[in-house]
Amino acid sequence: MSTPDRLVEATQELLWERGYVGTSPKAIQQLAGAGQGSMYHHFTGKPDLALAAILRTAAELRATAEQALGDGGTAYERISAYLSRERDVLRGCPVGRLTMDPDVMASEELRAPVDETIGWLRGRLAEIVQEGLDRGEFDRPLAPDEIAATVVATVQGGYVLARASGSAAAFDAGVGGLLTLLAPRTGPTA
């Protein structure tokens, strides 16, 4: 792995664990096994390196989400695959956690890829819900944008609840409840 890649990967890890303020250039260099000269040869400073790390984290989240949301199966099955995919729930979402970082949110440049990624995810989920509606897969009217926002809120809120309780059960309960609400009804309704 090249030195710039090691530096970006180390920064990704530290941003996820410590946030922007807690991610010092020295910690990045130590984790990456790179010297100060190498860091400043490849990046103009911590903000430049943080941006590269956030962009890579956002791209990785999109790729992982798209694997679950791909074209196989019904809309419900694809949303279920996304919600049920394996995650390190107690660690939280590497993009979602950035929204809690005041230094990232205060920087237009660092906040932009976070906002764009969450917007992409909501848009992608809304497309899938609309596809399901168009194919008659849902047995009741749904507002695609609202369902997409609910899916994202369930995942992000589930991370918070799981971290607070120290148990993935809180995340799993939120996902299970949402899937129950979205599931096509079977049998007659009262």
Q: Across residues 112-130, what is the average pLDDT?
A: 97
| pLDDT band at 30; cut points 50, 70, 90 | very high
- Which tokens in the block code for residue 118? 């969450």
The Cα–Cα gap between 129 and 142 comes to 8
Q: Across residues 26-50, what is the average pLDDT?
A: 91
Quote the DSSP letter at residue 183: S
The Cα–Cα gap between 14 and 20 comes to 8
The percent of residues above 90 in pLDDT, for the chain, comes to 86
Say what the pLDDT of residue 185 is. 73
